[in-house]
Copies of this chain bind each other. A is one copy, B any other.
Amino acid sequence: MYHEINPKHYGIAIEREETLFKDKSQFQDVEIFKSKGMGNVLTLDGLMMTTEADEFFYHEMIAHIPLIAHKNPQTVLVIGGGDGGTVREVLKHKSVKSVDMCEIDGMVIEASKKFLPTISCKLEDEKVKVYVEDAIEFIKDKKNCYDVVLIDSTDPMGPGEGLFTEEFYTNVKNSLREGGIVVPQSESPFVNVNEMRKMYILLKKVFKNVAPYCGPIPTYPGGYWSWAFCSDDVDVPHCHKKVDKERADEIAPLCKIYNARMQTAVFDVPNFVKEIVAGE
């Protein structure tokens, strides 16, 4: 039985069948195991990253909300996301001409290509360029080139720590074209309250509009996750009438979760989430 116990002293248990891949990269322990009921499961340093059975909850949410909120997303950067799930969702948008993915750990990409084929399936697409580099360095000289940047990182405690700093967010912002949007995953509002609070304080220093949106992820801590919608130019879509329904309706049939109504509903968050992100 695989366990991930979170700081609230509870967590998930998954029945394992067999280990498919297990190695130590320069950065972390990488493992993929076959589970009894949730498909193949990727863990990094023993922490749950994704399962074939529930990965769509995360990948649809991080990608489609900002891409539909953007008027005409053509160039997208995915930071992290080595399993390929976020890239797969981004490519569902016809307007997208190129996707750069910057993942520090090549072992995650290679293991995912082999053992998570339904997730990594678009990494070889001709629109995709994969950079096996540290995003902290990668982003420094990128100016005015991306419409949407998705930060599909691990937690702020560990190898992903440098992706949760004011300097990094500022560099990401400078990589945006006019009308650009950035969405980092922003942790569990039920389990990672302090990490989430710190993160929003930083994001609000850098971006004019910052708003959390939330959704369920069965195998993540708390079963409930958040993402931060960040932009200087684009307002949070709070009104159905302002949603580009035509584009949303094109994407919805390709999704298990996403539809036009969710484009606004996910921003209607519980009171306790509002309190966390209210800041200092």
Encode contact with B along A222-259: 1 for CB under 8 Å, 0 otherwise. Answer: 11100000000000000000000000000010011111
Which residues of chain B are near A9, meaning CB under 8 Å? 14-15, 35-38
Docked-complex contact B257 and A268, CB < 8 angstroms: no
CA distance A191 to B220 in the complex (A): 15
Q: Which 8 A-B pairs have the closest CB atoms?
A: A223-B223, A9-B37, A265-B268, A261-B268, A9-B36, A257-B270, A216-B224, A265-B265
- From the candidates B8, B14, B268, name the one contacting A53 in the complex (CB within 8 A): B8
- Does A11 have its Cβ within 8 Å of any Cβ on chain B? yes
- Does A21 have its Cβ within 8 Å of any Cβ on chain B? no
What are 11 A-to-B residue pairs whose CB atoms are below 8 Å?
A10-B15, A10-B37, A10-B219, A216-B216, A216-B223, A218-B222, A252-B271, A256-B271, A257-B271, A259-B268, A265-B265
- Does A217 have its Cβ within 8 Å of any Cβ on chain B? yes
Which residues of chain B are near A216, meaning CB under 8 Å? 190, 214, 216, 222-224
Given contacts A7-B37, A9-B36, A10-B12, 6 further A-B contacts (CB under 8 A): A191-B218, A214-B216, A217-B223, A218-B222, A258-B270, A265-B265
CA distance A15 to B256 in the complex (A): 33
Which residues, 158 to 206 on A, are CB-close (under 8 Å) to B? Answer: 190-191
- Does A54 have its Cβ within 8 Å of any Cβ on chain B? yes
- Does A272 have its Cβ within 8 Å of any Cβ on chain B? yes
CA distance A7 to B35 in the complex (A): 13
Which residues of chain B are near A7, meaning CB under 8 Å? 37
Which residues of chain B are near A259, meaning CB under 8 Å? 268, 270-271
Q: Which of A38, A220, A271 has the most chain B CB atoms closer than 10 A to its own CB?
A: A271
Docked-complex contact A54 and B271, CB < 8 angstroms: no
Encode contact with B along A260-274: 1 for CB under 8 Å, 0 otherwise. Answer: 011011101011100
Which residues of chain B are near A218, meaning CB under 8 Å? 190-191, 222-224
- Does A278 have its Cβ within 8 Å of any Cβ on chain B? no
- Does A20 have its Cβ within 8 Å of any Cβ on chain B? no
Which residues of chain B are near A214, meaning CB under 8 Å? 216
Which residues of chain B are near A265, meaning CB under 8 Å? 264-266, 268
A212–chain B nearest beta-carbon distance, Å: 13
CA distance A210 to B38 in the complex (A): 31
